[in-house]
Structure 1
Amino acid sequence: MAISKSQKALIISLSGPSSSGKTTLARLLRDLLPNNNNTFILHQDDFYHPESHLPLRAGHKDWDCPASLDLPALTKALQHIKSTEFIPILSQIDIKLFLLASESAAIARRKARDGYVTLEGFWKDPEGYVEEVVWPNYVEQHSYLFEGGM
């Protein structure tokens, strides 16, 4: 899927807590954008370190902290898309959208999932994982965005 020289790559970043609707919105945007033959979704989930290298939180593998991501590989992918020299990840993104979900909605959606395919197999959230790892990471990493915290 090459971008012609007359087209400039447009990178849209969708952020929000786990199960807030990012993938659903990404698919909708892909379908709505003109020339969607040149539109594709790059998932942050595709850039996790192998499970064996993940940090622990509350006794669980922590897929939801910044250290779980291979940020250099994600940056390299964005660079390739933009065909530019090295620029930090946020500088590569043209449009940034942040989705909101209440704690109860995010937890219910996450628990409704069957699991996730990983580099090393299949991951199913252990009991208490969302409450002890996913949501606390979201609050710690994003509370600065909200007046008075979250």
Structure 2
Amino acid sequence: MASPPQKQSTIIVGISGPSSSGKTTLARLLQQIFCGVDLQLNPESTSQESEKENGKLNTFIIHEDDFYYPDDQIPYTTTKSGKIQDWDTIGAIDTSFLAQALLYVRENGRLPPRLQSKEDQNESSHSGVEESLVSEMRNLVQKRLAGTNTNTNARAEEQIQKAKTIAFMEGFLLYTGQSEKSSSPLKPVQDAIHLPLFLPAAYTNVKTRREARSGYVTIGPQPTQEEIQAQAQSGTGSEQTHEHKAPLDLEAESDQPPQNFWVDPPGYVDDIVWPRYVEDHAWLLVAEEGEGDLVSRVGEGVNVREDAGVVVAPGKGDVGMDVILRWAVGEILNFYDSF
């Protein structure tokens, strides 16, 4: 009688950083490189198609932006321009749904049916990485994971036994509050991430890239003017609490409402995006001593602690995606070998 299939284990790679730091671009490149890689020395020698598939690496991307609340539940924040919806506060993210989804991924090696991605409907630009580098990295991954550099079958058998799913979790708020994990609503999310990668980016680049975007697909529904005025007057804002929610039926199909489109209002980066990022990552960013608020003391925000429990990309946000890609592939391969 055939032995029962081995339960597949899953590695979750976290990719975080400020808005427009290249998180989604990197995740898509990594998915392209790692997806379907053979985990055996000579895959052509396998006679059964099902066994071939069992020897391949499964990968997919999880976008934190897919866990936003509907448009009419996004909290408001008061700025010098008045009260506006704040998409960059943790109160805008359904952290309970996110934590449950990551647990599902770890246990099942696939996305829950309830999670319906809208992120891939947003505009994307060329990664700036040549196809030749992608092919080079894929060949490197193939050799490392299949063990072809050992000239023995033992390594190949070991890798087949530890065949895994790798999920690339990308988002701008994955590590916020990490220095105070016991009180952070993202603690279950952080605990689910095996390898936390961080991409620094300079304020100047964040502002330029973010303001060049046309906007973002949201899950809707768009609040009416009456609802906007009522919420603004009631003071609904970033003080939104994160109460424990009952477990969702993750096997059920998505019940998200129709989609809409968000466009940043004028001044949104300086009023919301960058101050929120600095505040949420104060434990990680190195600020200058002296007077002034935290945002001014952080400056361009490229000085990041290397000893804080996250793996920081090289170059302080001033290197190309080709350098970042090589770095990320190396970190993932080293982690995979030790997992």
Per the TM superposition, whether the score is higher than 0.5 is yes
> What SS does structure 2 have at the residue aligned with 1:40?
strand
Query: Who wins on radius of gyration, i.e. which is larger?
Result: 2
| Cα distance in structure 1, aligned partners of 2:286 and 2:69 | 33
Using the size of structure 2 for normalisation, the TM-score is 0.41
Q: Which amino acid aligns with 1:30?
A: Q
Aligned to 1:45: 65
2:104 aligned residue? 80
2:212 and 2:198 mapped to 1: Cα distance?
22
Amino acid paired to 1:16: G
Residue in structure 2 matched with residue 102 of structure 1 by the alignment: 202
Bigger Cα displacement from structure 2, 93-102 vs 29-38: 29-38
Say whether 1:141 aligns with 2:280: yes
Q: Which amino acid aligns with 1:22?
A: K
Query: In the alignment, is the contact (CA less than 8 A) between 1:60 and 1:133 conserved in 2?
Result: no
Q: Which stretch shows the higher mean deviation, 104-113 or 75-84? A: 75-84
Distance 1:102 1:147 in 2: 13
| Aligned with 2:86 (options 56, 62, 65) | 62
Q: Which runs of 5+ in 2 are unaligned?
A: 38-56, 109-186, 221-259, 289-297, 299-339
Q: Which residue of 2 aligns with 1:113?
A: 213
Q: Deviations over 1:74-128 (max 9, x none)?
A: 01110110018xx811111111011111001011111111100101110000111
Amino acid at match of 1:119: I
The C-alpha deviation readout for 1:28-69, integer Å capped at 9, x for no partner, is 111122526721111000001112111112222111111110
Task: Report if aligned partners of 1:60, 1:129 keep a CA contact under 8 Å in 2.
Answer: no
Q: How many residues are treated as equivalent by the alignment? A: 145
**Please, what TM-score do these two structures have when normalized by structure 1?**
0.89
**2:249 alignment counterpart:** none
Partner Cα separation in structure 1 for residue 216 and residue 105 of structure 2: 26
Match of 1:7 in 2: 8
> For residue 33 of structure 2, what is the aligned residue in structure 1?
32
Name the SS for the 1:104 alignment partner.
helix
Q: Which runs of 5+ in 1 are unaligned?
A: none
CA distance in 2, matches of 1:117, 1:88: 27
Residue 6 of structure 1: how far off its partner (Å): 4.8
